[in-house]
């Protein structure tokens, strides 16, 4: 059967197949909304939360505590992957993705309404942590489901390209989140921003949530999952995944860790580093962060398209090798303390992240079997987020303060080496069918 790039495979229930543009739009807009919510918290954690929720701790300790609340969501993500993955593998991708969007939207809205520590005392940071846990649970179920929805509808030859739309949505979210904060930074004084301006991006998300729900309610379930329903769904997707493909879960996690490390160092942490350590003006830092969002978005498309030609493993291998070199150069460049150096550091870091992120949707979808694919894909991504997205920004400040930025760069380079080894071991996946019954065979390094 010949596939048009505009159509998914024929639906197994005989109905007219959805267009890939429609599927991609649903995956894209949903992830924009989910990760807009996720990213505005990260930006607020860097710029405001140390002052409004942890004022008693002082500047340095308050920033560490603020990033610790950011890290709580990464700890919650794997649990969200297991929870929503269970329902996604048993009830379907569409219903589960609607649930993750609602949970993220409500949690984010409540963050925007949260009283500060000066109003309700210690209850404020406690409630913030609880809401952050809910955001983490939602994010843990979102990305994996969104990439599966695209991958399981896409023609095999273009699976890398179509599967990148959720990640492309993540790049759009970085642009949107930083642009919103930039607008508030330019349009109001610093005191006003700290007093109430930081709430605007959180409250504004309600408009995006309404639109996203409308888009996702209009889409149909994937044909591959419909086929799986006829042969039987897994009763315990999490246990089945670890029984059948434990090695692949670990290797996929290791492969993905570098990518998320680059994203959160180049995005969230650098916003804090630029304002607090380099003493750059907040509007300038946020403007550069917007450029970083553009860089990762362009690179996601490029990396995904190239992966359809040269393979997922080769594409990620190239990025890992480049990342080993770049992470050693990054902080010596930044520590020149010029805006120009900062304007190079963030976009290059985010561009490398995007090149590796582009193939990930297809790579993880192709690695795992249909009956537990939602769970295993989301879990691998979430574990990598905890290792690469939460820990490096949390430990960066103390390590840089004690031993300097180059030492921290060595740690980042070591993470890239681990990802390089993992992707070489796991092997190429682009030739695999998503509705296969066999387990992928790992390749030699």
- pLDDT tens digit string along 409-420? 999 999 999 999
pLDDT(4) > 50:
no
Block residue for tokens 């004084």? 189
- For 19, which DSSP code? B
Per the prediction, the chain carries an average pLDDT of 85
Q: In this predicted model, what pLDDT tens digit does every residue of 259-285 receive, in sequence order?
A: 999 998 998 788 888 988 888 988 898
Q: How many CA atoms lie within 13 A of 136 on its CB side?
A: 26
- For 438, which DSSP code? S
Give Cα 28 to chain centroid, integer Å: 13
**Domains of the chain in sequence order:** 20-426 (1.20.1250.20)
- Lowest mean per-residue pLDDT among 5-9, 135-139, 159-163, 167-171: 5-9
| pLDDT given for residue 29 in this prediction | 80
| pLDDT given for residue 2 in this prediction | 39
Give the burial string for 179-215 (b: 16+ CB within 10 Å, else e).
Answer: bbbbebbeeeeeeebeeebbbbbbebbeebbeebbeb
Supply the DSSP string of 270-309, one letter for each residue.
Answer: HHHIIIIIS---HHHHHHHHHHHHHHHHHHHHHHHHHHHH
pLDDT(26) > 50:
yes
* Nearest-angstrom CA–CA distance, 101 and 431: 32
| pLDDT given for residue 3 in this prediction | 42
* Nearest-angstrom CA–CA distance, 354 and 259: 8
Residue 28, token pair as written in the block: 């894209």
| pLDDT given for residue 315 in this prediction | 96
Mean pLDDT along residues 185-206: 81
pLDDT(205) > 60:
yes
Q: In this predicted model, what pLDDT tens digit does every residue of 57-107 receive, in sequence order?
A: 766 677 777 777 777 887 888 899 999 999 889 888 888 988 988 898 888
Residue 231, token pair as written in the block: 């042969």
- Lowest mean per-residue pLDDT among 231-235, 276-280, 395-399: 231-235
| pLDDT given for residue 48 in this prediction | 80
**Region class of 116: left (phi > 0), else alpha (psi between -120 and 50), else beta:** beta
pLDDT(18) > 70:
no
Question: Which CA distances in Å does 161 have to 156, 194, 390, 415?
Answer: 10, 41, 28, 26
- Three-state SS for 218? coil
* Nearest-angstrom CA–CA distance, 434 and 417: 29
Q: In this predicted model, what pLDDT tens digit does every residue of 304-329 receive, in sequence order?
A: 999 999 999 999 999 999 999 999 99
- Three-state SS for 7? strand
pLDDT(15) > 80:
no
| pLDDT given for residue 11 in this prediction | 42
Supply the DSSP string of 106-165, one letter for each residue.
Answer: HHHHHHHT---HHHHTTHHHHHHHHHHHHHHHHHHHHHHHHHHHHHTTS-GGGHHHHHTH
Q: Which residue has the higher pLDDT, 299 or 127?
A: 299
pLDDT(200) > 90:
no
Structure pTM?
0.83
């Amino acid at each position: 059967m010949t596939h048009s790039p505009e159509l998914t495979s024929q639906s197994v229930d005989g109905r007219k197949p959805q267009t890939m543009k429609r599927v991609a739009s649903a995956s894209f807009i949903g992830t924009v909304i989910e990760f807009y919510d996720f990213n505005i918290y990260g930006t607020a954690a860097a710029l405001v939360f140390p002052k409004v929720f942890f004022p008693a701790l002082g500047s340095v300790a308050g920033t560490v505590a603020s990033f610790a609340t950011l890290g709580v969501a990464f700890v919650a993500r794997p649990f969200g992957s297991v929870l929503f993955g269970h329902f996604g593998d048993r009830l379907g991708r569409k219903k589960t993705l609607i649930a993750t969007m609602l949970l993220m939207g409500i949690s984010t809205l409540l963050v925007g309404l949260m009283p500060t520590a000066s109003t309700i005392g210690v209850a404020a940071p406690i409630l913030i942590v609880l809401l952050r846990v809910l955001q983490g649970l939602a994010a843990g179920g979102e990305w994996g489901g969104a990439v599966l929805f695209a991958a399981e509808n896409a023609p095999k030859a273009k699976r890398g390209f179509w599967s990148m739309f959720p990640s492309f949505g993540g790049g759009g979210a970085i642009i949107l989140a930083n642009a919103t904060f930039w607008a508030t930074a330019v349009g109001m004084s610093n005191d006003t921003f700290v007093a109430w301006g930081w709430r605007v991006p959180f409250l504004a998300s309600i408009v995006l949530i309404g639109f996203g729900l409308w888009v996702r309610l209009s889409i149909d379930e994937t044909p591959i999952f419909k086929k799986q329903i006829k042969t039987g769904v897994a009763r315990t997707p999490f246990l089945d995944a670890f029984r059948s493909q434990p090695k692949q879960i670990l290797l996929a996690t290791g492969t993905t860790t570098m990518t998320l490390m680059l994203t959160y160092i180049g995005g969230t942490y650098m916003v804090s580093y630029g304002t607090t350590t380099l003493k750059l003006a907040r509007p300038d830092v946020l403007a550069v962060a917007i450029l970083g969002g553009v860089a990762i978005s362009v690179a996601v498309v490029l990396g995904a398209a190239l992966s359809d030609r040269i393979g997922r493993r080769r594409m990620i291998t190239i990025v890992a090798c480049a990342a080993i070199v770049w992470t050693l150069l990054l902080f010596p460049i930044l520590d020149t303390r010029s805006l120009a150096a900062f304007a190079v550091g963030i976009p290059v870091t985010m561009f490398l992240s995007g090149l590796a992120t582009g193939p990930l949707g297809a790579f993880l979808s192709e690695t795992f079997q249909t009956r537990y694919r939602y769970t295993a894909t989301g879990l691998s991504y979430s574990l990598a987020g905890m290792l690469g997205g939460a820990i490096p920004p949390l430990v960066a400040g103390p390590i840089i303060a004690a031993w300097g930025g180059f030492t921290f760069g060595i740690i980042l380079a070591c993470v890239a080496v681990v990802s390089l080894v993992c992707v070489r071991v796991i092997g190429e996946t682009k030739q695999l069918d998503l509705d296969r019954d066999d387990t992928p065979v790992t390749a030699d390094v």
